[in-house]
């Protein structure tokens, strides 16, 4: 048997390149988490860059002067929002944590009332099956209570870690200042220290990824921010009017987080919330939540075509797989980062995917 050494050498080289690229993406994700303040500063700089250029055009000022003005305004907004958010989150999380057991008891009583109204005796459900249903419900509620309690304790730990938050905030603000003011110098330094071949080859992918992923992330971030702000304002209005909404900021954050996940949306949270409110006897609250959801959907449908110019070309089933994989590897944050990594992976290996992965690796061409 004759072994084609040159063929298997090409196959091995392609597999090694694929493996090292995947490893590079994994390390890039880990480094982005490790250097989170700089990543946040970079993302904010991308968002405020159009404002800097706009100010430069209108005032004929230098980039440094325009950057400083925008930097001061943005930093003041971030600081004010951070202080308000910490105080409000601590208050709401503490109150919810204290009354969590009462909410679990109410949920169990609501379920029991639903079973009684259903009258399972008429459909011949045995006591054994009924006991299994009740035990399962009790286990789900206890498990959910434990998870929520852990999450709220984590939120309280985070918002009360003032020294840590201060350090992150100062580093982020300083990084944002230098990125905005000295953007050209930083890019020149990176190009100066990186080999020309790397700049040529990697630069092509970076430009494509920045164009596709950057535009997608900016559009999604804008839509999520709009959903969060609309839901926050709507929930506070409902609270001031007299509806039983005790934790508007926590709920708005949760709605915004779910709205950030591909495939899912704000309706994933608000529709069950409205149904539970209606079943609990507060039909007006349920209707108000549905009306708020309709308003948010109309606003999103109005903005989305103007912000998202084209589809990213990833089928929902692969997006769902990416979300699940990200969740298994990185936890809750993986739900957000999984699809982003998928978009990067699709762009880096566009030729390989278009030609067929296994075909491209093992083809004898």
What mean pLDDT do residues 121-150 have?
66
Confidence of residue 123 (pLDDT cuts 50, 70, 90): low
* Rounded Cα gap, residues 288 and 298, in angstroms: 15
What mean pLDDT do residues 250-276 have?
80
- Token pair for residue 77? 């907004």
Spatial contact of 220 and 47, defined as CB atoms under 8 Å apart: no
Q: Which one is predicted more confidently, 298 or 360?
A: 298
- Residue 238 makes CB contacts below 8 A (sequence gap 6+) with 245, 248, 285, 288, 292
Residue entry with tokens 């980062």: 337
- pLDDT higher than 60, residue 1: no
Residue entry with tokens 């079943």: 279
Nearest to 218 by CA among 98, 352, 42, 70: 42
* Rounded Cα gap, residues 52 and 181, in angstroms: 10
pLDDT computed for residue 270 by the predictor = 85
User: pLDDT (tens digit, 9 = 90+) per residue, 57-95?
Assistant: 888 888 888 888 888 888 888 888 888 888 888 887 787
- pLDDT higher than 60, residue 312: no
How do the residues of the chain divide into helix, strand and coil, expressed in percent and rounded to 5?
85, 0, 15
Query: C-alpha dihedral over 200, 44, 319, 296, to 10 degrees?
Result: -150
Spatial contact of 282 and 244, defined as CB atoms under 8 Å apart: yes
- pLDDT higher than 60, residue 257: yes
pLDDT computed for residue 59 by the predictor = 85
Highest mean pLDDT range out of 126-135, 153-162, 207-216, 249-258?
Answer: 249-258
Is the Cα torsion angle 28, 33, 37, 40 positive or negative in sign? positive
- Residue 89 makes CB contacts below 8 A (sequence gap 6+) with 155, 159, 249, 250, 253
Q: Which one is predicted more confidently, 139 or 242?
A: 242
């Amino acid at each position: 048997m004759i072994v084609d050494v040159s063929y298997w050498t090409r196959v091995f080289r392609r597999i090694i390149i694929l493996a090292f690229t995947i490893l590079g993406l994994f390390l890039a994700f880990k480094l982005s988490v490790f250097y989170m303040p700089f990543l946040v500063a970079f993302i904010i700089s991308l968002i405020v860059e159009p404002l800097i250029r706009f100010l430069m055009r209108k005032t004929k000022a230098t980039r440094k002067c325009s950057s400083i003005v925008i930097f001061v305004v943005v930093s003041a907004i971030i600081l004010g929002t951070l202080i308000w958010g910490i105080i409000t989150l601590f208050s709401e999380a503490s109150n919810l944590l204290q009354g969590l057991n009462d909410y679990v008891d109410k949920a169990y009583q609501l379920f029991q009332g639903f079973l009684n109204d259903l009258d399972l005796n008429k459909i011949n459900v045995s006591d054994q099956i009924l006991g299994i249903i009740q035990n399962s419900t009790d286990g789900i509620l206890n498990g959910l209570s434990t998870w929520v309690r852990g999450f709220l304790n984590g939120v309280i730990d985070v918002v009360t870690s003032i020294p840590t938050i201060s350090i992150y905030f100062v580093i982020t603000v300083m990084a944002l200042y230098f990125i905005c003011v000295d953007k050209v110098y930083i890019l020149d330094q990176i190009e100066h220290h990186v080999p020309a071949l790397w700049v040529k080859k990697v630069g092509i992918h970076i430009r494509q990824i920045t164009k596709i992923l950057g535009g997608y992330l900016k559009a999604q971030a804008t839509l999520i921010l709009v959903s969060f702000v609309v839901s926050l304002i709507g929930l506070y209005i409902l609270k001031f009017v007299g509806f039983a909404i005790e934790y508007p900021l926590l709920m708005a954050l949760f709605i915004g987080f779910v709205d950030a996940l591909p495939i899912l949306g704000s309706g994933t949270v608000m529709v069950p919330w409205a149904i539970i409110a209606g079943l609990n006897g507060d039909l007006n609250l349920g209707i108000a939540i549905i009306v708020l959801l309709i308003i948010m959907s109309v606003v999103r449908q109005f903005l989305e075509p103007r912000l998202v110019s084209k589809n990213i070309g990833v089928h929902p089933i692969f997006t769902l797989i990416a979300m699940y994989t990200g969740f298994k590897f990185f936890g809750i944050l993986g739900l957000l980062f999984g699809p982003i990594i998928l978009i990067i992976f699709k762009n880096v290996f566009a030729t390989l995917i278009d030609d067929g992965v296994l075909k491209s690796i093992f083809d004898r061409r």
